[in-house]
Amino acid sequence: MNYPNGKRSTKQSHALRRKSKPDFSNRGMSLEEDISVTNEYYLNAGKAVVHKKPTPVQIVNVDYPKRSAAVIKEAYFKQASTTDFNGVYRSRYIDFEAKETKNKTSFPLSNVHQHQIDHMKAVHQHGGIAFMIIKFTPLDEVYLLPSPLLFEYWDEQSNGGRKSIPYSFIHEHGEKIPFHYQARVDYAAALDKLYF
């Protein structure tokens, strides 16, 4: 076959093209960006309404070199933020934190803060669904971990327990979230299996 550039297709290059599969191992996006793309897809498809929570910031000093180009020179966090995302899915309030780790064998609890745990416990106590999405970056694996399982490890660490959650525990008790083209982190499918 001749192509518009005048070159002929060789059997070898054609065979290589057929064998190559898309490589999703390094998509160039962070977990939060992938979740935001997923949320946009859910919203457009009428599946869920979930948004990233804005971090409350107090702006102190702004420079106006031009009217159209304001530059923030100094700002402070007003308060510690709670979790990353919240919204509604299948008539239930959902609230979750997204974390990535470079560790292959466990998820360090030092990645989570007490105020986030307190917030997720309050959501859980009021009947909402609180959870954590954890990405093991070296393994390119993403899991949904229900908050009660997170709370067990969090509470045990103060009594001399582990300071991390083993990968094997998350793999066994969490719900693995495969990568998809439109819903990159299809956590709704994981919620369906665990809660609905």
Structural domain for 117, as ranges: 48-54+80-195
| Distance, CA of 11 to CA of 44 (rounded, Å) | 43
> Is 152 labeled as ligand-binding?
no
Average pLDDT, the chain: 86
Residues in the chain: 196
What was the pLDDT predicted at 89?
98
| pLDDT at residue 12 tops 60 | no
Residue 145 within any structural domain of the chain: yes
Residue 97 within any structural domain of the chain: yes
The domain that contains 142 carries what CATH number? 3.40.1350.10
Instruction: 169-172: list long-range contacts, CB under 8 Å, 24+ apart.
Output: 170/107, 170/134, 170/143, 170/145, 171/141, 171/143
Q: What is the pTM of this model?
A: 0.77
| Distance, CA of 38 to CA of 186 (rounded, Å) | 7
| pLDDT at residue 116 tops 60 | yes
Residue 65 within any structural domain of the chain: no
Secondary structure (3-state) at 74: strand
Residue 70 within any structural domain of the chain: no
> Is 82 labeled as ligand-binding?
yes
Q: Residues 159-175: what's their mean pLDDT?
A: 97
Query: CB of 135 within 8 A of CB of 99?
Result: yes
> Is 97 labeled as ligand-binding?
yes
What was the pLDDT predicted at 59?
78
Residue 28 within any structural domain of the chain: no
Residue 141 within any structural domain of the chain: yes
Query: What residues have CB less than 8 Å from 77, skipping those under 6 apart?
Result: 55, 56, 57, 58
Q: How many domains does the chain have?
A: 1
Residue 30 within any structural domain of the chain: no
Residue 20 within any structural domain of the chain: no
Secondary structure (3-state) at 183: coil
> Is 137 labeled as ligand-binding?
no
